[in-house]
């Protein structure tokens, strides 16, 4: 999973280079927590589940003006057995 870019970066070039998510489609200033919210959602969603882009981006502060991307599966894997330590 690759999240790239910064405020007012070239969104289209970043996605065409292989990033899953990038900022900023409307060339606006994004909030510093927006990339954290996106990556957190992906990290804690099961690897078997695709995540709707609307679901990911609607949880950000700047929304669709500040963040865009492509459909992505979650990255969380469950390992067993759990140890006592």
Percentage of residues of the chain with pLDDT beyond 90 = 55
Q: What does the radius of gyration of the chain's CA atoms come to, in whole angstroms?
A: 14
Whole-number pLDDT of residue 22: 92
**47-83 tens-digit pLDDT:** 999 999 899 998 899 999 999 999 889 999 887 777 7
> Would you list the domain boundaries of the chain?
3-73
**pTM for the predicted model, two decimal places:** 0.81
52-81 CB burial, b ≥16 within 10 A, e <16: ebeebbeebebeebbbbbeebebeeeeeee
């Amino acid at each position: 999973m690759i999240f790239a870019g910064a405020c007012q970066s070239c969104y289209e070039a970043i996605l065409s280079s292989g990033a899953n998510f990038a900022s900023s489609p409307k060339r606006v200033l994004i909030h510093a927590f927006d990339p954290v919210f996106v990556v957190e959602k992906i990290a804690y969603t099961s690897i078997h589940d695709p995540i709707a882009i609307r679901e990911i981006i609607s949880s950000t502060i700047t929304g669709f003006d500040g963040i865009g991307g492509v459909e992505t599966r979650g990255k969380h894997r469950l390992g067993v057995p759990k140890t006592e330590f």
